[in-house]
Structure 1
Amino acid sequence: MTTAQRTTTVFLTVLCGLLLSIVGLTQQWPTWKWTTLAALLLVVPVAAFRIASLRRGSLPVSFEEQLTASPVERTECHVNQVRLPSLWDDYHFVFSATVRWYLVASPESASVLNPAGLAVEAVLNRARTITEKREPGQASLVQHELSGALSRMCPDPTGHLQAMAENISLTLVEQDQERLDRLAKVRKEKAVWEHQRKYEQSKRQYLGEDVLKDTGSAVVWWLAKNDEHVEKTVADLALLAQLTSAANDTDIPERLHTLVSSQLGEPATPEILADDPAPTPRERTAADHLSSFFDAMGFTEGDIRRPMLAKQFSDIIKQQNRHEPAEDLLRRFDPPATFTPHNGEESNPHTEERDEPPGTPLM
């Protein structure tokens, strides 16, 4: 029976005794009834206590068992601006936190302790095992990691107390943060420069090994770049030949010397310079340019590829709504050529120039 139960039993016994006494006085009980009442008031509480002890067991209830556990006393101290190592040498995290602890029961023979020092040491050791494996650039992430790892009460190595930390702050030294920012900027710029260098190398390789491999490759590339404008491509043959030769560090092929000299306005042979007076050159047409192009490519007169390519070029020019140059190409190359003994060259009646001046009647 607990103390509260005993108190209640005594109180009820006294209350019943008072009620029965009032009743006895009003009824004028005889002496034997008062004696019986007094005996009952003494016997009933004793019997109740006895029955309660038998129901609980034979073991007595000690006073210490009835006491509630004493509250755990926790104390705290603040740790400020403590440097912790990082994964990189000479780069340190700056650690600040509130350290809390409570003492664990220790033997009476234990020496006098400084619990604050033990608690701080235990917390710093736990924090250092984490920070020394982390890069300094991850300070904000490591701070949250420490908040979780140090939020639990754990015993210190001596076993005298348990400690934890809260309100954790983890930063870098200002100078170290500036160095990391500069390093990150350099790495980014280096990555951009590497990409630019690789792009330029790829472009040079493409131009040297594909576009400017020879004059034919340069002509096809230039034709595609100028939207298949045949006249412009043919007009630039001399430039392309010189560019290809310069890119490959070679001389211009002999078969292109005449073409290059004529397009650059240079004399083709010394014999032409000796002519006096020199004939006034007429304006070159698309057919003339295409003929020079065929000669430069090695498509000699009578080659079946000349009329075939001329027909394709004519179709391309027609798509640009330039019908007159297209028809000129067909008249020059597509129909069967008429051979006449005129300086040993092929002449076409459709394109042969008239020697008579305008207005002179034909005989």
Structure 2
Amino acid sequence: MTTGCKTTTIFLTILCGLLLTILGLAQDWPPLAWLLLAALLIALPAAAFKIATARRGPLPVDVEEHRTAPPVERREHHVTHVALPSRWDDYDFLFSATVRWYPLEAPSNDPVLNPAGLAVEAVLNRARAITEQREPGRPSLTQHELSGALSRMRPDPTGHLQVMAEDVTLVLREYDQERLNRLAEVRKDKAVWEHQRKYEQSKREYLSEDVLKDTGSAVVWWLAKNDDRIEKTVADLGLLAQLTSAANDTDVPERLRDLIPRPHDERPTFDLREEPPVQPERQPTAADHFEAFLNTLDFTDGEIQRPMLAKQIADIIRTQDQHETAEDILRRFHPPASHTSNDGEPPTSPDDTTDNRPAA
């Protein structure tokens, strides 16, 4: 009889005794009846326990063996930095994990001599089947894949053990990881360069095959670029003709040559049989700059301000030891003949404001 059955029997016996006691008090039983009731309450539980024990009998053999069998023995072994191949040659993963196993029942003539070796071999074979199909660029992703694949107990090839692995880590050697990072940067730069090259090539094709195909196409493109400013486009026809001819390596058409702008300092054409001598360009002097200054102020020839300003500027230049430049300005703008007037008297300067009137 189990413990639950014993508890139930005792509870029912007590409950029946209470009911019979209440009934006996209500019926005013004689003392003999109370003695029989007490004996009955004691005898019934004892008889029930004895009957239940006789019916149960001894435990089965297999149950007894199961209860007395030793618990399953589990073992573990740590492996660190075991090189496993990747999909790329010469780039190995470094595998670390805790290998766990428990032995299965083996025939008496085939004992397991080194269960740790068999367990490690089984785990490494399972891990290698995965890593040799993966590229080394993402070791963390492959690590999580291995953690899931090795987390289940599976029998080893010999059938003696159930094997699994925990705490799996998978990394690359430091110099291999640095090399892969550099290769990734090169691939990214190459991709950017390829995009730029294709963009420039497309732009060249667009200009040569569409925009600058001929002068008419260039004019239409230029007109669209300048927001329909017809006057500007017409003024640039010569430049567009030159640009189109240069892009197509051809001469400017005869009908458009008159539109090509000419430089202002273009030399006149001469007979090819008599080439004129090339005269070196004269550098402008200080007197030339001073003349341009006077012209800017609208001091034309014949005005008295020109020699006066020339005299003053020459005096200032002499103080800087530039005597030759001062003389050049005086010869050009203040000749000796201008130093005297027609009646032999020197001209009166606006600065020489001497009052000759008698004093009051």
**Superposed pair shares fold, TM > 0.5:** yes
Match of 2:63 among 62, 65, 88: 65
Whichever residue aligns with residue 117 of structure 2, its letter is G
Change (3 A) 1:63 1:3: farther
For 1:61 and 1:73, locate their aligned partners in 2 and report how far apart those are by CA, in whole Å.
Answer: 26
1:228 is matched with which residue?
A: 228
- Alignment gaps of 5+ in structure 1: 7-40, 271-363
1:150 is matched with which residue?
A: 150
Change (3 A) 1:235 1:110: same
1:342 is matched with which residue?
A: none
Structure 1 residues 44-89: Cα deviation after superposition (integer angstroms, max 9, x where no partner)? 99997676444x4xx8534662325532221111100001111112
For 2:3 and 2:106, locate their aligned partners in 1 and report how far apart those are by CA, in whole Å.
Answer: 33
2:140 is matched with which residue?
A: 140
**Which runs of structure 2 are paired with 1:11-50 in the superposition (5 Å)?**
none
**Which runs of structure 2 are paired with 1:98-177 in the superposition (5 Å)?**
98-111=98-111, 113-177=113-177
1:203 is matched with which residue?
A: 203
Whichever residue aligns with residue 63 of structure 2, its letter is E
For 2:105 and 2:204, locate their aligned partners in 1 and report how far apart those are by CA, in whole Å.
Answer: 80
Structure 1 residues 184-215: Cα deviation after superposition (integer angstroms, max 9, x where no partner)? 11111111111111111111111111111111
2:260 is matched with which residue?
A: 260
For 1:224 and 1:269, locate their aligned partners in 2 and report how far apart those are by CA, in whole Å.
Answer: 38
Query: In structure 1, the residue corresponding to 2:138 is in which secondary structure?
Result: helix
For 1:149 and 1:3, locate their aligned partners in 2 and report how far apart those are by CA, in whole Å.
Answer: 46
2:240 is matched with which residue?
A: 240
Root mean square deviation of aligned Cα: 3.4
Query: In structure 2, the residue corresponding to 1:166 is in which secondary structure?
Result: strand
- Alignment gaps of 5+ in structure 2: 7-42, 271-360
1:94 is matched with which residue?
A: 94
For 2:112 and 2:230, locate their aligned partners in 1 and report how far apart those are by CA, in whole Å.
Answer: 102
Change (3 A) 1:72 1:167: same
Query: In structure 2, the residue corresponding to 1:136 is in which secondary structure?
Result: coil
For 2:264 and 2:205, locate their aligned partners in 1 and report how far apart those are by CA, in whole Å.
Answer: 29
Change (3 A) 1:119 1:226: same
For 1:138 and 1:45, locate their aligned partners in 2 and report how far apart those are by CA, in whole Å.
Answer: 75
Structure 1 residues 205-245: Cα deviation after superposition (integer angstroms, max 9, x where no partner)? 11111111111221222222223333332222221111111
Structure 1 residues 97-118: Cα deviation after superposition (integer angstroms, max 9, x where no partner)? 0111111122222235111111
2:178 is matched with which residue?
A: 178
* 8 Å CA contact 1:238, 1:260 repeated in 2: yes
1:249 is matched with which residue?
A: 249
Identical-residue share of aligned pairs (%)? 68
Whichever residue aligns with residue 98 of structure 2, its letter is T
Whichever residue aligns with residue 170 of structure 1, its letter is L
For 2:124 and 2:70, locate their aligned partners in 1 and report how far apart those are by CA, in whole Å.
Answer: 30
For 1:87 and 1:5, locate their aligned partners in 2 and report how far apart those are by CA, in whole Å.
Answer: 66
Change (3 A) 1:159 1:112: closer
Change (3 A) 1:195 1:5: closer
Whichever residue aligns with residue 202 of structure 1, its letter is S
